[in-house]
Structure 1
Amino acid sequence: MKKNTLYYGDCLDVMGKWDDNSVDLIYLDPPFNSKANYNILFGTQRDGGDKNDLAQLTAFTDTWEWDGDAEKRVDLINSAIAHPAHRAIRAFSEIYPDGSGMLSYLSYMAERIAAMHRLLKDTGTIYLHCDPTASHYLKIIMDEVFGKQNFRNEIVWSYPASPSTTTKDFPRKHDTIFRFVKTQEFIFNHIDVAIPYSDASINRSKYAAKASTVLAGTAIKLRDSGKIPPTVWQDIQQTYRYRKEHLGYPTQKPLALLKRIVKASSNEGDLVLDPFCGCGTTVEAAHSLKRDWIGIDISSYAIEVVRRERMKDLRIDLAGVPKDLKGAMDFSRRNPFDFEKWAVTRIPGFAPNAVQRGDGGIDGRALIFGAEKERNLCIAQVKGGKQSIDSLRTFFGMIASGKAAIGVFITLEKWDTPSVKKCIAQAGTLQVGTKEYSRLIMYTIDDHFHGVEPKIPPLAHPRTGQAFQAELAGQSRSFFQHQ
């Protein structure tokens, strides 16, 4: 276990390598089984363009299916009588006897919640953030794993309702956060999370008091101490209300929410774990409050958002991502789809394709900043294994046909045969401002590790559409040079 580190990978695999009773506080905002794919559209819809023309970035997929892996997972828990979620999953198997996406999801969560119980110290607390899709089932799993006696709160985080297009339901305006402890020796810093009483509350207290001396004392006491927030939190707005904080990441939670949780259930120097860290709100909250932290996420894109944007002023250690060419080669063999996503994001401004099967040979997209719509799309293709000239020619055909202004062909190592050079020459050049760029660009992961960036025009930021800051590219280069 390495503190103050971002881990790339499945949290179950990562947590399985750590010692028992090693974490003080766990907050998780996992997938909700919402049956949604959280994609980010980026770019602009100028001149009445169709939004389908915009590039997309898949942050994560929250659609669960009953498949062979799910069946094995459920069978394993059902046959393991000592597994802390055994009874819960057996009961859910009766509810869904033929399997379902929900049972797949719940067995996935049961494995990971059990691992978190093992890691949590006896004085520790865990906060599970969820929504009504599966909160009732998740509460049962938490009761089984942590014990019903260790349930402390069901916190309702209430926020303004989004505009509703239906007249058949009440608009949803809250999430649920379950707070469990491991034993009754838990930490709870009630003074640190106290919120001031309103003037109206103080005035009511004055009105109720009978003597002027009591009046003054009561008013001072109320104003100095404040009150512990009740279990309905209405004073913290969603992230989009704070543009400075907003990173454009789907499901991003506000910093104030995580600061309250971290203050309440940990002390300075304690270790805070977020096993589904996303864009890193928990990481920032823990760091700002002088706690150690660990963030885990299965999305290389999420890890990059934390490192390049949220914590851009710090040098953040990474684990589970390639740090040299040999590691990248191994990564491409073990997990080719994740390797493609990772390789595309080595070029600041590029975003992975939303679909990785049947993608027509496109693994990532970017937009040239300031270029006309007809000449602003850049595409990328990644070849982690053995490349072929036929693949390059097919990719070149997309550029030649006008489907993209520029194409970047990414390989692990240098590839510059006469056939490759011929394709590059046939692709021609593109004028952007006063500079000329090749329309077919060869780039290698080896280049990346040596701090060499592809010669491409200025790109738009993947989420804001604004000019991508040059210093972000520099951070990417300098980080890997110092590993």
Structure 2
Amino acid sequence: MKHNLKGKIDLIYIDPPFATNNTFTITNDRANTVSNVLNGRLAYKDVIKGADFIEFIRERLILLKMLLSDKGSIYLHIDYKIGHYVKIVMDEIFGIENFRNDITRIKCNPKNFPRKGYGNVKDLILFYSKSDNLIWNEPKLPYTETDKQKLFPKKEKDGRRFTTIPLHAPGETLDGKTSLPFKGVFPPKGRHWRSEVAVLEKWDNDGLIEWSENGNPRKKLYLDEQEGKRMQDIWEFKDPQYPVYPTEKNADLLDTIIKTSSDENSIVLDCFAGSGTTLKSAQIHGRKWIGIDQSEESINVIIRKLDDVEQDLFVKKSSYKFLKEKSDRFSQRLA
């Protein structure tokens, strides 16, 4: 390739084969949701198993680390059978200190067919960074009505919902402004005020502190001033009911990852591009992207998906170069 991309990729998302020893096909432009249905067009074969699969992943992860920028992140989507072996490899290559999350992804509704074991409704995403200086745009989720009542149980006279949090934090400051008395009250033993007393006094004058019956001050947090709740490490992004490519992933899942771990004009790479969901999300959110896949069916699906992106004031029409090298197909947009 003409472009030197070493250290320039801000985000890598890959959804490689899962070492299932299955063959995946497409019939009448719909992916067969059951593997090993052989009467359709071949999408891909997932036939590398065991130690060979681990080495297959290792070789690619070594290269991907070289491509990743110092502020970059990698998300590897895998299943529960092989994922923990892959984590050991990622710990080795990226460093266990750069391990961020083992994200549980709820992929489907509960399964009720007979099985000597619990139903499997999840897979996992291993999230690593190149360093501590990673791109991080905090994702927030809207509060549900239950959240609002549970997390903000108190109301002002005008009905405005709020909760309260302690004004002190662990650790003593023997000499400092956060150890001084506030309205005659010292922080509890072994703790200090979170802010200087002058700040606490301003909050109190502004009505932002609630005093308990025994004289304990707490800071008010109002529901209408919060952006939402922090996203946790269990995600419910179920697979499409009618996928156009085998193991196609939820578009909202990729939107979340791309908005969180890349910036506008960042380069996003998916070298197991599959249905092109990563590439479409990157396009919609103003990122540059590179997609790679060796399946002819994958390339056809990706092109259709990209060509369906509608241009508006905020989204540019897909413009990409289609490159072919040896047995690999590259779909790339670098401009």
Give the TM-score, by structure 2 length: 0.70
Secondary structure of 1:38's partner? strand
Deviation at 1:255, TM superposition (A): 0.6
Map Cα deviations across residues 362-384 of structure 1 (whole Å, 9 max, x no partner).
xxxxxxxxxxxxxxxxxxxxxxx
- Equivalent position of 1:122 in the other structure: 70
Secondary structure of 2:40's partner? strand
Deviation at 1:200, TM superposition (A): 1.5
Distance 1:31 1:196, change over 3 A: same
Confirm or deny that 1:258 pairs with 2:229: no
Deviation at 1:115, TM superposition (A): 0.5
Secondary structure of 2:77's partner? strand
Secondary structure of 1:154's partner? strand
- Equivalent position of 2:173 in the other structure: none
Amino acid at match of 1:221: L
- Equivalent position of 2:41 in the other structure: 57
Alignment of 1:409-424 (within 5 A): none
Aligned counterpart for 2:230 among listed residues 228, 231, 235: 228
Amino acid at match of 1:141: V
Confirm or deny that 1:270 pairs with 2:266: yes
How many residue pairs match? The answer is: 259
Confirm or deny that 1:316 pairs with 2:320: yes
Are 1:39 and 1:60, in contact at CA under 8 Å, matched by a contact in 2?
Answer: yes
Confirm or deny that 1:280 pairs with 2:276: yes
Amino acid at match of 1:264: T
Segment drifting more, 166-175 vs 266-275:
166-175
Map Cα deviations across residues 314-356 of structure 1 (whole Å, 9 max, x no partner).
45320116xxxxxxxxxxxx76xx99xxxxxxxxxxxxxxxxx
- Equivalent position of 1:173 in the other structure: 121
Alignment of 1:29-178 (within 5 A): 29-42=15-28, 55-64=39-48, 101-161=49-109, 163-178=111-126
Amino acid at match of 1:196: P
Map Cα deviations across residues 261-314 of structure 1 (whole Å, 9 max, x no partner).
001101111110001001100001110001111100011221111113443454
Deviation at 1:19, TM superposition (A): 3.6
- Equivalent position of 2:134 in the other structure: 186
Q: Distance in 1 between matches of 2:263 and 2:308?
A: 25
Secondary structure of 2:141's partner? coil
Deviation at 1:162, TM superposition (A): 5.9
Are 2:106 and 2:122, in contact at CA under 8 Å, matched by a contact in 1?
Answer: yes
- Equivalent position of 1:388 in the other structure: none
Amino acid at match of 1:277: A
Q: Distance in 1 between matches of 2:106 and 2:266?
A: 28
Are 2:101 and 2:233, in contact at CA under 8 Å, matched by a contact in 1?
Answer: yes
Deviation at 1:239, TM superposition (A): 1.1
Are 1:34 and 1:133, in contact at CA under 8 Å, matched by a contact in 2?
Answer: no
Are 2:11 and 2:267, in contact at CA under 8 Å, matched by a contact in 1?
Answer: yes
Are 1:307 and 1:316, in contact at CA under 8 Å, matched by a contact in 2?
Answer: no
Amino acid at match of 1:63: V
Are 1:41 and 1:54, in contact at CA under 8 Å, matched by a contact in 2?
Answer: no
Secondary structure of 2:286's partner? coil
Secondary structure of 1:149's partner? helix
Q: Going by fraction, where is strand more abundant, 1 or 2?
A: 2
Deviation at 1:189, TM superposition (A): 0.5
Q: Which ranges in structure 2 are unaligned for 5 or more consecutive residues?
A: 31-35, 164-220, 310-317, 330-335
Give the TM-score, by structure 1 length: 0.50
Are 1:274 and 1:283, in contact at CA under 8 Å, matched by a contact in 2?
Answer: yes
Amino acid at match of 2:238: Q
TM-align CA RMSD: 2.8
- Equivalent position of 2:214 in the other structure: none
Secondary structure of 1:34's partner? coil
Are 1:253 and 1:281, in contact at CA under 8 Å, matched by a contact in 2?
Answer: yes
Are 1:125 and 1:180, in contact at CA under 8 Å, matched by a contact in 2?
Answer: yes
Secondary structure of 1:239's partner? coil
Q: Which ranges in structure 1 are unaligned for 5 or more consecutive residues?
A: 3-16, 45-51, 65-100, 241-245, 322-333, 340-483
Distance 1:162 1:59, change over 3 A: farther
Map Cα deviations across residues 359-418 of structure 1 (whole Å, 9 max, x no partner).
xxxxxxxxxxxxxxxxxxxxxxxxxxxxxxxxxxxxxxxxxxxxxxxxxxxxxxxxxxxx
Q: Distance in 2 between matches of 1:317 and 1:146?
A: 31
Deviation at 1:247, TM superposition (A): 4.5
- Equivalent position of 1:202 in the other structure: 148
